[in-house]
Amino acid sequence: MAEKLALVGIGKIARDQHIPSIESNPDWSLQAAVSRHASIDGLDHYEALDELLDSRPDITTISLAIPPQPRFEYAAQALKAGKNVMLEKPPGQSLAECYTLENLAKEHGVSIFATWHSRYADCVPDLKSWLSSRVIRKLLITWKEDVRRWHPGQEWIWEPGGMGVFDPGINALSILTEIMPYPVHLSEATLEFPENRSTPIAADLTFVDPTGADMSAVFDWREDGPQNWDIDVETDQGRARLSEGGAKLEIDGTLVKQGADHEYANLYARMAELVKHGKSDMDLSPMIHVCDAFSLGRRLTTDAFHY
């Protein structure tokens, strides 16, 4: 029998990704929506989560597609009500929030899933497998996009907890922490903050690789031209490029795989598996890199940003 699910937050990402992925998966039955400003035709609608929890005790799972700042309160409320919880990335504003939610899920015997959709891009497993038998010499992440195109008018990303350029950058870090055969950690960071904003618009990161590989990342939200979501790797047995956010893989300049957009469908398949077996998945390694960047980062002030 399909699990009954409610979706909290009915914005662009919910309509583009969450709703189609839920409706195409027979393990889920989308029953209700929670939003102050939007609704889904044919479903029960509530303006607040407590209204949903009071009215629909039959719903077992809550998926949160809302900004990170309010997410902790919503997730904690759902967990305390005995609901499984699926968290859009990043899973919270801070590591402390995430660890608290993980403990709440254990306390109440429910599942919680900190999702990293870019890990579920089609070519990520292929690059991970390819790297497992090679020695990495150099790795460069280039994650450059136009914030005006992808996040038009979204002021929350510029507020504390919104993470700025790390909102997309954490996608790259989620891939990095998935494909690497061993963990690495951040050693240096330079963060560029617009003079009128509280979160960075660009970042340069340097990592320590225990084998001595040269490893770095460049994030920028001011890319007017072609958008870049690339990871280039040089090894002792060739070079690889993962591009299009993980959908395309080239080895030594030859295209070996061009994937499709299955990221969110794969997330909901994973959530169904977790609920079925009473397990949780709260890997926070991408979040650790972001927190380290803010802790270690040298802050530079740049031009004001306006939509």
Cα distance between residue 83 and residue 278, in whole Å: 12
Q: How many CB atoms lie within 10 A of CB 30?
A: 21
Tokens 């999702």 appear where? 115
Task: Show the CA angle centred on residue 266, arms to residues 260 and 272, nearest 5°.
Answer: 160
Q: For residue 212, what are the β-bridge partners?
A: none
Residues 6+ apart with CB under 8 A from 79: 85, 101, 104, 105, 108, 110, 112
- Catalytic member of 12, 80, 83, 89: 89
Q: How far apart are the C-alpha atoms of 237 and 137, rounded to whole Å? A: 10
Residue 92 contacts residue 101 (beta carbons within 8 Å):
yes
87 half-sphere exposure, CB direction, 13 A CA radius: 32
Q: How far apart are CA 178 and CA 247, in angstroms?
A: 15
**Chain centroid offset of residue 29 CA:** 23
Contact 85, 44 (CB under 8 A): no
- Rounded Cα gap, residues 271 and 57, in angstroms: 20
| 138 has catalytic annotation | no
Sheet holding 214-220, edge to edge: 254-258, 248-251, 238-243, 228-235, 136-144, 214-220, 202-208, 185-194, 298-302
Catalytic residues: 89
